[in-house]
Amino acid sequence: MNIIPAIDLKDGACVRLFKGDFEQTTEYSRKPLTVAQRFSELSVAELHIVDLDGARTGSQQNQAVVEGIAGQTTLAIQIGGGIRDTRTLLGWLDRGAARCVVGSLAVTEPATVEEWLDEFGPERVVLALDVNIGEDGVPMLTTHGWTRPSTTSLWDGIERYRDRGLKHLLCTDVSRDGALAGPNLELYAQIVGRYPALRLQASGGVRSIDDMTALRAAGVPAAITGRALLDGRITAEEIRSFPQDG
């Protein structure tokens, strides 16, 4: 299983939100390039970046930061946050991103995302489906920075894109993101069981390398960690000793 470090960008700084709440922000560094360079020294190949300003306003304000990271590290970058049109997606790819992460639009305008999968290929587009678990145990999709519930289940969301060759799926249990509550192992095991060919990226709740070990045991191909790594709950030595794919 691959570990993917995460950097969230807000006003040019590296931050973390608690459960996606912009009013509960922790700033870690005013030099995200330095953070990314530190991550590049670990035994990882990828970096997950969220442009929180873009997610909130739809206007990308961190292009220079991301371009700098792409140009000054060897990490393959996947970038998300407010990608709502083809021009924005192309702009990120032109700035060195390997993949673009598409979230709300995959629920609200699926025809557009289907076109992107057809045009750019499933290797360049990551489907980000964020969920809240209902009282009946069904994972239901949420959009717009986790502020708007939908009537679409995770399973229906995935099925919509299977015929388009969907490869990369990032799934976050909203209730666990940034909360150090432990990953939703049951949810990810269900996804792996139903869709073993998907390159699933588990996100939300990782506290320690033990959680990574549990995700690997559940068959998860990749997992994202932000706060646990930034807080030192997962050390560089632990990541270097953790078996990575490829």
Given 21, 85, 94, 130, the catalytic residue: 130
Locate tokens 């000793």: which residue? 241
* CB distance 19 to 55 below 8 Å: no
Check if 8 is active-site: yes
* CB distance 149 to 140 below 8 Å: yes
Check if 53 is active-site: no
Conformational region of residue 182, where left means phi above 0, alpha means psi within -120 to 50, and beta covers everything else: left
* CB distance 100 to 119 below 8 Å: no
Any idea of the CA torsion for 6, 208, 192, 137, to the nearest 10 degrees?
A: -100
Hey, which residues does 129 pair with through a beta bridge?
Answer: 171
In angstroms, rounded to a whole number, what is the distance separating the alpha carbons of residues 95 and 90?
A: 9
Nearest CA to 186 out of 197, 171, 199, 198 is that of 171
Catalytic (active-site) positions:
8, 130
